[in-house]
Structure 1
Amino acid sequence: MKRLIPLLALLLLLGGCTSSCSSGEAVATSTPGGATPPETQESAVPSPSAVPTSSPTVEPTPDPVESADPSPSVEPTATPASYDGPNDEEVLTAYRAAVEAFWWFQVETLPLDRADSRELNGQVYYRVDYPGIDSTANLRGYLKSLFSDDLVEMLLPYDGTQYIDIDGVLYGLDGGRGTDITRGAETVQVLRDGDPDRCTVRVTVEVVDPEQDNAVVNTLTFDFPYEKVGEKWIFTDFSLVR
């Protein structure tokens, strides 16, 4: 009996195999969990994907930002009218010439040739020895180039006796008052107030005490207007400061 059982099992196995193999049907092999695997397809070798060229990133242009502290706009300045008057150095040159001219009347006489003298009305005159000034007409014309008519008349009156013509030549009296020993150094500057036909020469002079080794004890200020009168620039007020 024990031998029959294995024999029967073998026969049954052979019978099942014969029927399956004769039909040509494939036996599905079960997979764990009963899931049927998908058919295996030959996969094409994928071509390497093209590396995308990165497009340049365009940053958006920011809106203009108003500066918190904008620079002030500069308005064009109007071109000033051309100025054809004397510059400061020319004004100062005229001042020095004016001082010298006043000096000839109030401090010392024009240079004189003492070898050429004439006596007139009890007074001795000497010929003036100064280039360009050899008659009262020349002297008056020179003064008019520096001063107003009133100042010229004060210095050289037509009936004056300090300078006279003798035989058409200019002669002068020898003499003078000298300088004020209480006046020290002076400072001169040109002041302008915007008037193109006028400026002022301001002179500040020290007042010293000769008994204290000329120590400065005060200062004095003088303003002399220098103006365009007609076609000339002249001093309309003037005096010596020492």
Structure 2
Amino acid sequence: MIMKNKKNIYSYIILLLLIVSVLIGMTACSPVLTPTDTKASEETTETTETTETTETTETTETTETTETVEITPSIETIGDYEIYPTGERGKIEGNSPFKAEETTLWEIHDLKNDRTIATIPVPDDYKQPIKSEDLYLESGIVLIAYSESTGDRIVLNEAQNLVYYWDKEMTYKAWLPLKEKYDKATEALSWFYMWTIQVAEDDAVTLKVDLGNGAGTTNYEFYRVDYPSIKTLSDLKVYLSQLFSDDMVTELMKDKRFQEVDGVLYTLMADRGSDLSRGISYYGAHNIDNEHYSFDVLVEIINIDQEPYGNIIGHEYASFPLEETNKVLRFKSLRLLY
């Protein structure tokens, strides 16, 4: 009887030990959260909330900044135009005020007609306008880039798709008579070096003339000049005197292509055509002291010698002085760049 009771006791002890072992194993597998861990958890939660708050604040600030109207420094989209640097260096011939290695080619693209209207060298230190209110200098005149040191500007005439290089004081009203003077002067100069002045082709005379070309005195056909206000050599000299300095007029009048017969002016037909290696011209002007100006010309040089043909391979620059005498602006020097 006693032995049987002892066996039961031993069974109960073994069962109890098994239960205790199971309980200890379960406790070991469950993570225990200490007071320190609880605090760390709270800090992590707070940090997460703080981060989310910070991100929300930054998003709000970005949204407020975006509301300010600004233009990307690298590309401008102005109305129907896109203006951007190409990253290519310019190549400039002539007496340019800026060095080719310090300029980058910019293109102006007409979005409406899908064509590039200008490829121009821009000095690296020139800035683009950032604020939209700085874009329009006056009606139809858009500021493309400017120099902070000199105030010189490159502008676009929207109405005519033309690019101008201006000084800081130049306006379209002041620019217009300078450009008109240049157009008239180059037209007159072309009568001697490129084209023939308007003539009456049904009215010709044969004259023996030494043109100074090495051919000696030779018979040439001359045609009557049919140009308003120019009927005689004297008229021609007066016309040229409104455009060029006295020294230039004297040199031009030495040319034998104009001859007067019985009070009627005749000229030789001798067109040479334009230079096919010259492309679009861009113009500029600087007012030196309200009596002296410089008129600047920048013309594209086109590849015509090898493939690919038609590419712009550089620019030629020239600056021509004008002087106002007796309220008349006249070029002191000028040559054709085309």
Residue 246 of structure 2 corresponds to residue 123 of structure 1: no
Q: Which runs of structure 2 are paired with 1:166-177 in the superposition (5 Å)?
A: 166-177=261-272
1:143: which partner in 2?
Answer: 240
1:197: which partner in 2?
Answer: 291
Give the match's secondary structure for 2:196.
coil
CA distance in 1, matches of 2:290, 2:256: 39
2:249: which partner in 1?
Answer: 152
2:316: which partner in 1?
Answer: 220
Give the match's secondary structure for 1:87.
helix
TM-score (norm 1): 0.61
Give how far 1:230 is off.
4.2
2:182 alignment partner, one of 70, 89, 95 = 95
CA distance in 2, matches of 1:87, 1:166: 42
1:7: which partner in 2?
Answer: none
User: Cα RMSD between the aligned structures?
Assistant: 1.4
Amino acid at match of 2:312: V
1:112: which partner in 2?
Answer: 199
CA distance in 1, matches of 2:328, 2:227: 24
Q: Deviations along 1:39-85, whole A, 9 cap, x unmatched?
A: xxxxxxxxxxxxxxxxxxxxxxxxxxxxxxxxxxxxxxxxxxxxxxx
Q: Deviations along 1:175-232, whole A, 9 cap, x unmatched?
A: 1221111111110111123x12111111001111023331110111110111113442
Q: Deviations along 1:121-143, whole A, 9 cap, x unmatched?
A: 11111101111111111111000
Task: Report how many residues are paired.
Answer: 154
CA distance in 2, matches of 1:141, 1:214: 41
Amino acid at match of 1:100: E
Unaligned runs of 5+ in 1: 1-85
CA distance in 2, matches of 1:239, 1:133: 22
CA distance in 1, matches of 2:315, 2:256: 35
Higher relative contact order (CA 8 A, sep 6+): 1
Amino acid at match of 1:135: T
CA distance in 1, matches of 2:317, 2:286: 13
Give runs of ≥4 in structure 1 deviating > 2 Å.
Answer: 229-232
CA distance in 2, matches of 1:133, 1:156: 14
Residue 260 of structure 2 corresponds to residue 165 of structure 1: yes
Q: Deviations along 1:78-120, whole A, 9 cap, x unmatched?
A: xxxxxxxx92111110000011011111001111111111111
Unaligned runs of 5+ in 2: 1-172, 209-218
Give the match's secondary structure for 1:237.
coil
Amino acid at match of 2:225: V
Residue 321 of structure 2 corresponds to residue 234 of structure 1: no
1:183 alignment partner, one of 273, 278, 281 = 278
1:18: which partner in 2?
Answer: none
TM-score (norm 2): 0.44
CA distance in 1, matches of 2:174, 2:290: 11
